[in-house]
Structure 1
Amino acid sequence: MTSKVTYLGGLRTENLHVNSGNTFVTDAPIDNNGKGEAFSPTDTVATGLANCMMTMMGIKARDLGVALEGTTAEVTKTMAADPRRISKIEVVFDFPIEADAKTRKILEHTANTCPVHYSLHPDIEKIITFNWK
C-alpha cells in the first residue's frame, strides 16, 4: 500500500504516506463548494508534476555533479468544465545556478520525461519554462 486516504467531513481528506507516516490534508476548492483552506486534489496533481520534474532533475544533477539546491518551481493550474478537469498546467522553474548549454539540455530533457509528465492525459496542456541564472 502506498497511501491511505481518510474522509474527515466538510469536503476535506487526510492523506497518509504509509512508509513514512507523513500526512497532508486536501480541501475542495472555493469554486467547487469547498473552503479552499488546503491543496485541492487537482492542486496536488499539478504540483506533483513539478515535484516529479524537480526530483528527476535532482537525480540527474547529482550524477552530473551539479547542485540544484535553491531551485524553485511556480505552478499554475487551469481548470475546464464539461467535464470538470485540469486543462492546463504551467510550471516555471527558476535555477539559482549557472549551467552550460549541454547541462541545461540534459536537465530539461530529464524533467520533460519524468513519470508524472508521461502519466498525465495528453489533452492536458503542459507549459514548462526553465529560467537559468
Structure 2
Amino acid sequence: MKLNELSPAEGSKKSPKRIGRGPGSGTGKTSGKGHKGYKARSGGGARPGFEGGQMPIQRRLPKVGFTNIFKKEIAVINIRDLLKFESGSVVDVDLLVSSGIVKGKHDGIKLLAQGDINYSLTIKLDRVSNGARTKIEKAGGKIIEVI
C-alpha cells in the first residue's frame, strides 16, 4: 500500500451543508436563520455565559478561596533520602541542594521519619520531626537546629 492509494472509509466523509444556494436546496433565502431577530443578524447571538438578562451563574455564585501571601514553602525530605551520604558526614542545606535532593525555591527544609538509618550523621536543618529525631539519635547521630 502506498500513500497515494489511501482513502477514507466508505461513508466516513460527509460534505458540508451548502446554505444560501436557492429555494430548492432547503436552506436558501434566510439560510437557516429564520426571519429577522437578533440571532439572524451579522455578528448576532448572545455572548458566552449570557442567560437572557437573568443574573448569570458566575455572578450568582460567591467568590471562594484565599491565597496567603506570607505562606512558607517547606521542602520535605525523609531519612531514606539521606542514605546516599557517608557515615559521619554533616548534612546541611547546601549539601542537600548540591546533591540534588532538594530542588527549587524553598523557605526551609523539614526532615521526616520515613526510612531507617543505622549509622551516624550530623543533621543541620531548621525543622526535624520527632520521629526523625528519635531515629537519628538512636543510630548515634546528632541534630543541630539552625534558626
Between structures 1 and 2, the one with greater helix share: 1
TM norm. shorter chain > 0.5:
no
Between structures 1 and 2, the one with greater strand share: 1
Structure whose alpha-carbon radius of gyration is higher: 2
TM-score of the superposition, structure 1-length normalised?
0.23
TM-score of the superposition, structure 2-length normalised?
0.21
